[in-house]
Structure 1
Amino acid sequence: MGISQILLWLNLVLVSVLLFFGANWLFYYFMGKKSATIITEEEFKAGMRRAQIIDVREKNEFDAGHILGARNVPYTLFADSMGGIRKDIPIYLYDNTKTLSVRAANKLRKQGYTNIFILKTGYSEWSGKTKKKKML
């Protein structure tokens, strides 16, 4: 196998990887649009007093720091915990990157929830008030 064939294969692998990530991004973009309204941090802050703020990250991430007033419903336990989420109050979801929030919003939508919002930038870029669990 010559150097040109190796370069061709490497280029094919690179293009395949880029196509995969592009398709994945498009899937979550359209799934998010279908299941929830993506809102900015300012919109999130403006409406959070009248909403259920749900952090879908795992407990250890939540304990390390979360948006003040949020409750933790990890995505891994989300299907079993949805009964504790009210349908008559807006739902504000967040995680670090929106991926888990989009999945959670889709599950909620399928169960008849309608007033669902996702923090656009996720917790990783949140500049508002936070709370951290004190570690002993």
Structure 2
Amino acid sequence: MKFIQENILLIAVALVSGAMLLWPYLRRTTGGPSVNPAEATQLMNREDALVVDVREPGEYGAGHILGARNVPLSRIDDTPVAKKKDKPVIVYCDSGNRSAKAAAALRRQGFARVVNLAGGLGAWQQAGLPVEK
């Protein structure tokens, strides 16, 4: 007990450091599986994956992945995304945060093959892949 009292600051720093190390891992796992832009392109070309942009309509209008369907995160629960729930679905936003929430919502709706585009539209553009307006 004396050790804990004398080293409370050291223990607090160790706990905070451990939490900071685990945070990226926990964020990644809560959104489910994610794919990079190259893997997303393969899913689109080989398995005819549905691409869903969960950004707001104004953001979608400024530029989106070719053929992407716009279903804002705020409407993901009340907008039908696809008829076949076994078809692969790729969700994305600007950075991957909103799309992780959307992916979890789609899984709750029964979609079996939902993946999040890691890094969102920013990663897609950095990979030199096309967008349309």
With the length of structure 2 as denominator, give the TM-score of the two structures.
0.73
For the pair 1:44 / 2:40, whether they are aligned, the reply is yes
Matched positions, count: 113
Amino acid corresponding to residue 66 of structure 1 in structure 2: H
For the pair 1:73 / 2:74, whether they are aligned, the reply is no
Partner of 2:10: none
**Offset of 1:80 from its aligned partner?**
0.8
- Give the superposed CA RMSD: 2.2
| Structure 1 portions without partners, runs of 5+ | 1-15
- Rounded Cα–Cα distance in structure 1 between residues aligned with 2:42 and 2:59: 24
**Offset of 1:26 from its aligned partner?**
4.7
Percent same amino acid among aligned pairs?
A: 32
Partner of 1:129: 130
In structure 2, the CA distance between the partners of 1:101 and 1:87, relative to structure 1 (3 Å rule), is: same
- Rounded Cα–Cα distance in structure 2 between residues aligned with 1:39 and 1:100: 15
- Structure richer in helix, relative to its length: 1
With the length of structure 1 as denominator, give the TM-score of the two structures.
0.72
- Rounded Cα–Cα distance in structure 2 between residues aligned with 1:56 and 1:63: 12
Counterpart secondary structure, 1:84:
coil
